[in-house]
Structure 1
Amino acid sequence: MTTRVLSVSVPVADQDAALRFYTEVLGCELRTDVEVWPGARLVEVVPPGSSVSLFLLPPDSEIPVAIRLGTSDAQRAHDAIREAGVALHNEDVLRMAGMPPMFSFTDPDGNGLVYLEDTAEDEHG
């Protein structure tokens, strides 16, 4: 069901300070810095040559602080997670324009997870 790790969220107090640290000190490359919707800024960096990115998010972000995983079929994964009795954060698979089908849930220890359907065009999550 899981095809790969796409990204990992890092909770940060100040996105601008974190962006400077990850790019200027650690040498990561900025991939995305956008306001997804009002008040929800997505800052994504990636180590050179890595296919796994880091999302620098405030702990109170509306964007889930989570590990993002690829799956070949989001609906099938959603059904399997529901059948396993896992707490889903989305009643149905989310389908938003320009984004792969996705949903979020938590593992038994309360860690946030998001499944995103892998598509041929999606190379970096």
Structure 2
Amino acid sequence: MDWKIELVAIPVTDVDRAKSFYVDQCGFNADHDHQVNPDLRFVQLTPPGSACSVVLGTGVTEMAPGSQKGLQVVVADAAKAREELLSKGVDASEVDIQAWGHFVYFADPDGNTWSLQQMPPRG
């Protein structure tokens, strides 16, 4: 039986600001934005090429804003991904080169943290 991660909650204080950050600055696709009721707004965003999406909004998680730490996505070229983020105003780290991959780190406006990993060449 397959177990596939499909959706990860990102706790934020300002839904519109967060949506703009992820869509306009990080390049995520805006899949859904529904105000279900006064207490529930569901915004689903997907990184380009990803099978897993993120959800942010109101009433979608009990986590404190900024408490989602260490989300990781794989990219083909960490340096190029970093340059794309920087060109859109995202404060991204230098490329951290390790034996297990090249990494770039950044945070959203609430302090939720991400890493981009370029996988090492396969043997």
TM-score, with normalisation over the residues of structure 2? 0.46
TM-score, with normalisation over the residues of structure 1? 0.45
